[in-house]
A and B are shown apart, each in its own frame.
Chain A
Amino acid sequence: MTQNTQPNAQDAKRVTQDAGRKTQDAFEPKITAFLCNWCSYAGADLAGTSRMQYAPNIRIIKVPCTGRLDPLVLLKSFEMGADGVLVSGCHPGDCHYRTGNLFARRRWIIFKELLEFVGIEPGRVQFSWVSAAEGGKFVEVVNKITADIKKLGPFEGYNGS
């Protein structure tokens, strides 16, 4: 791991600065989306080829499989100024890597509990299954998380006790 992977004072400062700039009325959230290469990334492509329109707040990062994602990756996104994180993979049973998405699913079930414990509202991290044929569903997922995060407001750091 590089030094960038560890939270540091500079990152923390940036989070607070970012949050300060975001005013509630014109709040455009930053959402980082991790999509698996085989299903959801292709689903996002399909939304494009079908010329569907969706909220422009997400920034997509391609990963081979949702099973490749360590929960720390998601926390790092928040440190780097994201207000929400989307993780989307293949439907259970359809994983290109047979069972990778099932690892992801087990991990998220526990991670969700942890989020609340550390003080990140659960709605800030959303998980979905979007297949390569579900461009429409991808649009719904993106619009939903964007609307949800707008309601939640900017991420201003952990609110846990």
Chain B
Amino acid sequence: MARIGVFICHCGENISRTVDVVKAAQEASGFRGVVHSIDYKYMCSSPGQALIKQAIKEKNLDGVIVAACSPKMHEPTFRRACSEAGLNPYLCEIANIREQCSWVHEDKTVATPKAVDLMHTMVEKTRKDTDLYHIKVPITKKALVIGGGIAGIQAALDIAEGGQKVILVEKEPSIGGHMAQLSETFPTLDCSQCILTPKMVDTARHKNIKLYTWSEVIDVKGYIGNFEVTIRKNSRYVREDLCTGCGMCWLKCPQKKIPSKFETGLGMRTAIYVPFPQAVPNIPVIDKTTCLKLLKDRCGVCEKVCPTGAIDYSMKDEIITEKVGAIVVATGYDLISCGLYGEYGGYKDVLDGLQFERLLSASGPTAGEVKRPSDGKTVESVAFIQCAGSRDPSKGISYCSKICCMYTAKQAMLYKHKVHHGQAYVFYIDIRAGGKGYEEFVLKGIEQEGTIYLRGRVARVFRKQDKLIVRGMDTLSGKKIELAVDLVVLASAMVPNKDITNLYQKLSVSYDRYGWLSESHPKLKPVETSNAGIFLAGACQFPKDIPESVAQAGGAASKVLGLFSQDELAKEPLVAKINTLVCNGCNMCVQACPYQAIELKDLKDKQGKLIRRIAEVNPGLCAGCGVCVTVCPSHAPDLAGTTEEQLYQEIVALG
């Protein structure tokens, strides 16, 4: 026998202006099971909530309907109030008569009966509500950070400093990411490596951080608090426990002409190498695609010269599984290939932004001298072309890569510092310098360093004798422009890492059509992903500069620490349950479940003989979509909170 109370809120005048609340309360009192029905000016206020609590106790209510604003507003408020009065919070339901009734209709004569109908559906639903209790899920207090760029490093350090264990996985031989490649950083012109490498060393030394470099996450299973990840540790062919990083091996390696990925192809490395001198860990890897010993069983010089006997050609890839409670994805970005623009010629002296960073870097292939890659001549003039790929739907990318305006201003400035008599030109669409000190920085480049900005796009770049001719348009003067320069730098569009979506699918996180990770809410949940317990940091979400990446990494770390501050997780109990009496193990729900939350298990009799196989829902994994309910031919599953019975009762209430 239901004893339901209906509480109708005026919401000041927001509801009562178009809904006759007194009449609605009268009508509600006639619904089956309703024993108490009142209206009040502000139900969400303390006195309003007190009315509900009092009625629960005095009238011994076993169900509460609050007819008020959307459940997305105050459902938690009213459920908490009910809980405080001793009523199971899931016996409280909200009839949405503000957003979906009083605010969208002006006529009281149509809004009032609609409000009454909406209340009636909720009364009928509540009659079939049952006590539900939060599902408790244990938490493994160890985090996984994927990607060892600045975002991943910061997230790992912050979590580790918070006292929790972290595993940091990086696919390159060293952590550091793109930031390690940069020369100096805008708008302060700090040397990038000088501010980054101490953090890299801290990361490697931290007692709470376990570092896996030259490794990849190949599989992820489980759910928030209870992930199981599989990591492939690629064979280095160098024993980490013996190597001291003395450098004899790469000094003596005869294979010296291999384009270096770290130097963006502008410099060379050996077959056994560390990507850059400050690499962390400072342990080389052997590139098995170029090493003569591994390819043809010749050479073996590195083994001979190694003073500690660390070289091991027989090393195999290792597969490691780790249990973690939370994951931070910090997989970063890449640049779109310069080859995208045929009209820019594909010349050796047409570089992208990262390549120019290496030319400017004191530790780069030219030791910081700005020389042309084609002939080594000093660059007397340089043209920067903005939005090379970005903001160009015809090339498939409509977004702005966000950081190019700033790094181009910086690069033009650094170039001028290195080649005092040189001239930098920038072809741009708009200058986007939103950030602390950014606008001033761009203006400094123009006013003090003499960078010439030309508003317009470049139609073509072609070679004429030993110069590159840049033909474009200055849309401010309306004139065609032709410049003869030594070097062209494209601010190539930032794109997600190649093939990264394979990993994202394993993580079950959503990403947009470009491959950028989607945040759970664009404004209010910027570090959460669509999968609980997986957070994101840095440019894997969208192009970001260093301070933004670091800030987001800190945000992700604090979410992880917040999660780990509890011993158990309380999960909403709105999950599916299988009626084992009717389940015949047909497997339909197992296949349909978007969360792999259902498994078939053996149903055995007392003697241990198999009776049949039946489906079982893992409540920790179930998200409560109810797809299983509708695919089951025997109606075995049902969904707490929206049971079959409740759904039909609601429809009947409208009859």
Contacts and interface: CB of A to CB of B under 8 A. Distances in A.
Interface of A: 1-2, 4-5, 11, 14, 30, 32, 42, 44-49, 51-54, 56, 59-65, 67-70, 73, 76-77, 79-82, 93, 95-100, 103, 107
Interface string B528-543: 0010000000000000
26 contacts: A1-B644, A2-B649, A11-B655, A32-B654, A44-B99, A48-B98, A48-B99, A48-B103, A56-B105, A56-B107, A60-B118, A64-B641, A65-B627, A68-B627, A70-B630, A73-B648, A76-B652, A77-B651, A80-B652, A96-B530, A97-B594, A97-B625, A97-B627, A99-B594, A103-B627, A103-B630
B648 A2 contact: yes
B647 A77 contact: no
Given A61-B121, A70-B644, A103-B592, 13 more contacts: A5-B645, A11-B655, A45-B96, A49-B103, A53-B105, A63-B647, A64-B624, A67-B627, A68-B626, A69-B630, A80-B654, A96-B530, A97-B625
B594 A73 contact: no
B578 to A, nearest CB: 16
Interface of B: 70-72, 96, 98-100, 103-107, 110-111, 114, 117-118, 121, 508, 510, 530, 574, 592, 594-595, 623-627, 629-631, 635, 639, 641-642, 644-645, 647-652, 654-655
B574 A64 contact: yes
Contacts of A93: 510
Nearest to A31: B654
Nearest to B73: A45
A62 B595 CA distance: 22
A53 B111 CA distance: 12
Nearest to B93: A62
Contacts of A65: 625-627
Contact of B655 (A14, A46, A69): A14
A4 B648 contact: yes
Contacts of B508: 98
A38 to B, nearest CB: 10
B648 A59 contact: no
A101 to B, nearest CB: 9
Contact of A100 (B100, B106, B594): B594
Main secondary structure of the interface of A (DSSP, over half): mixed
A59 B118 contact: yes
B654 A77 contact: yes
A131 to B, nearest CB: 12
B110 A56 contact: yes
B250 to A, nearest CB: 47
B151 to A, nearest CB: 25
A60 B104 contact: no
Contacts of A51: 103-104
A54 B104 contact: yes
A47 B117 CA distance: 20
B106 A53 contact: yes
A93 B111 CA distance: 35
A73 B635 CA distance: 13
Most chain A CB neighbours (cut-off 10 Å) among B110, B595, B627 = B627
B630 A61 contact: no
Nearest to A50: B103
Given A59-B654, A68-B642, A100-B627, A48 B100 contact: yes
Most chain B CB neighbours (cut-off 10 Å) among A4, A47, A81 = A4
Contact of B651 (A44, A56, A73, A103): A73
B99 A49 contact: yes
B515 to A, nearest CB: 13
Nearest to A103: B627
B114 to A, nearest CB: 6
A60 to B, nearest CB: 5
B629 A56 contact: no
Contacts of A4: 648-649, 652
Given A56-B111, A63-B647, A82-B654, A70 B98 contact: no
Contact of B72 (A2, A45, A100): A45
Nearest to B623: A97
A60 B515 CA distance: 35
B47 to A, nearest CB: 25
A42 B121 CA distance: 19
Contacts of B651: 32, 61, 73, 76-77, 80
A81 B96 CA distance: 22
Nearest to B125: A61
B642 A63 contact: yes
A60 B648 contact: no
B596 to A, nearest CB: 11
Contacts of B110: 56
A61 B99 contact: no
B654 A70 contact: no
Contacts of B623: 97
A59 to B, nearest CB: 5
A67 B625 contact: yes
A45 B105 contact: no
B100 A56 contact: no
